[in-house]
Structure formats: C-alpha cells, structure tokens
Structure 1
Amino acid sequence: MQLYSTFDNDIYLEMAISTLEKKGVNKESIYAVPLDNRTEERRLFDTIHTADGTTLIDIGVALGTALSVVGASIGFELAWGPIFWGLIFGFIGFMIGFAIRLLTEKVFKKRKRLSRGKSPEVILIVDCEEIQGELIENILWEHLALGVAKVK
C-alpha cells in the first residue's frame, strides 16, 4: 500500500517523517518530493480556457455607470445632449476604473506576492503494509497534511 500526502515545506513535514520513522517505517519507504515554484509570472489576462478568478473590469463597470449618470445629467445643458455625454462619461469612467484595477494587480499585488515568499509544497510518499495504513494516515493528518490519498 502507498500513501500520498502533500505538506507545506515547514517543520510539520520534518516532524511527520521523524514520527513515521519512530513508528517503524523504514527510511527507504519514505520518499519526499519538493514541488518547484512557478518561475514565469502569471498572465494578467484570462483566456477562454483558463481563468484565475480575478476580474479587471469590476471597478471600471461601476465607475462607468456612475459617470454615465453624471454625464447624462450634465448633457441636458451641453450641445450634444444627454445620450452622447452619458456615453462619453461612461467610457471615461470605465477606462479610469480599468486603469485603477490594472495598477493594483500589476504593482501592489505583485509586491504582496513577492514579499510573502511562499515556499513550495512537498509530496510525501510512504510505502507500507495495509496493517500500518490507518496509523500512518492518522500521523500524516496530525502533522497538518494538506491532503492524503491511499493506493492499495
């Protein structure tokens, strides 16, 4: 039987390995594989197949709506009328909101990601007998494994 688990690369992984060795699991039966961090920067714009859950147009839509109302109100007194000025102000508001969101994603969130310095995860593979499976699984969960899977 093999148990696969993922851990953050921290002291809990070391504690789990030493506990497994104390419980009778051979060093040759424990295999730890560190995952590499992403070397390339994440794409800012989503494609049709991938999306990261962030949007760049949310602030732009809100500002565009607000400024189009203001522009339509002012447009009653201007030469082109309320419809054209509402569209012009809506477009300007959308562009300002888009620029704000683009700036926050490119500059501020990038700094936050770099300063955090997240360490990569580690996959821990343990070969054992079926009798030891439940004990080893409990040890892995007690030492804050992110996930555990059994293969018989």
Structure 2
Amino acid sequence: MLIIGTFEHSIEVEEALSVLEKSGVPRKSIMTVVMDKSSRLSDVTATRYPHKKTLAFEIGMATATAFSVIGISFGFVLKWGPILWGIISALLGFTLGTGITRWIQRHYLRNENPGKGPLPELVVIIRCTEASFHELRLVLLQYRVLSIGRIDENS
C-alpha cells in the first residue's frame, strides 16, 4: 500500500521523515517531491479566485457611485453645477475606494511569507504494509500533514 501526504515545506517534514525512519520504514520506501509553485502558476490562482485582483476596482466603483450621487446633490447649490460636481466626486470616490482597499490588502492581508509568495508544498509517498498504515498515519498527523491519501496496490 502507498500512503501519500502533503506538507508545507517546513521543519515538521524533516522531523516526520526522521520519526518514520526510526519507526522501521526503510529509506528506500520513502519518496519526497517538492511541488513547483513558479510565477507562471500564479495566474491560475488569479483566474480561480478573481476577487483577489478585482476587489479594489469593485470597491472603487461602488464608492465612485456613492460619491457621485452626493456630489450631484450638492452640485445643485454649488457654483459649477451638478454635472461637474458629480464627475469630480466620482473621481474622488473611485480614488479613495481603490486606494483604501489596496492599502488594506497590502497591510492587513499579507501572506505568511511576504515578498516570496506561498510556501511550496511537499508530497511524501511511503510504501508500507496494511498493518503499519494506522501507525504511520498518526505520525504524519502529529507533524501537521495537510492531507493524507491512500492507494491499495492490490486493487
């Protein structure tokens, strides 16, 4: 049987591999693969989660609409009239909404690893017997495995 576990690349992976070797799993039965998260793949997450890229624009348009309504209302009593005050206040609202949203995204919604993107994932594949599956699964869970899969080679 094969056990497949995914980890974030961290010291816990090394500790888990050490414990697995000490528990009797031979080194030749363990395979590790580092998954490549290059910049080419970041566009996939942008299309999968479009709100990350478009949130600032959407909030900017919403505040532009709100500000333009207020600007048009006040424009009836101000000197330049409702059309110019509507345009001026819409531009001001868009700038404020977009700027504040981008500032919040930059300062409060940071990655754990700023500037370098998300940590790469590591896949650990272990060949073991059915009897040792539960013991090895507990070891992986103890060292913060993200997910565990299992393949029966007899099937």
TM-score category of the 2 structures, normalised to the smaller one: 0.7 to 0.9
1:70 Cα deviation (Å)? 2.7
1:140 Cα deviation (Å)? 0.4
CA distance in 1, matches of 2:106, 2:93: 20
Match of 2:136 in 1: 136
Unaligned runs of 5+ in 1: none
Match of 1:53 in 2: 51
* Counterpart secondary structure, 2:24: coil
1:41 Cα deviation (Å)? 8.1
1:58 Cα deviation (Å)? 3.8
Residue 36 to residue 42, structure 1, CA distance change in 2 (3 Å): closer
Instruction: Determine whether 1:100 maps to 2:102.
Output: no
Q: Which moved more, 1:100-109 or 1:140-149?
A: 100-109
Unaligned runs of 5+ in 2: none
* Counterpart secondary structure, 1:124: strand
Q: Equivalent pairs: percent with the same residue?
A: 28
Residue 93 to residue 41, structure 1, CA distance change in 2 (3 Å): farther
Q: Is this contact kept in 1: 2:4–2:126, CA < 8 A?
A: yes
Residue 42 to residue 30, structure 1, CA distance change in 2 (3 Å): closer
With normalisation by structure 1, the TM-score equals 0.74
Match of 1:6 in 2: 6
1:13 Cα deviation (Å)? 0.7
Q: Is this contact kept in 2: 1:68–1:85, CA < 8 A?
A: no
Match of 1:91 in 2: 90
With normalisation by structure 2, the TM-score equals 0.73
* Counterpart secondary structure, 2:132: helix
Q: Is this contact kept in 2: 1:59–1:97, CA < 8 A?
A: no
Q: Which moved more, 1:93-102 or 1:18-27?
A: 93-102
Q: How many residues align?
A: 145
Q: Is this contact kept in 1: 2:61–2:94, CA < 8 A?
A: no
Q: Counterpart amino acid of 1:120?
A: P
Match of 2:73 in 1: 73
CA distance in 2, matches of 1:12, 1:139: 11
* Counterpart secondary structure, 1:119: coil
* Counterpart secondary structure, 1:20: helix
Q: Which moved more, 1:22-31 or 1:67-76?
A: 67-76
CA distance in 2, matches of 1:105, 1:140: 36
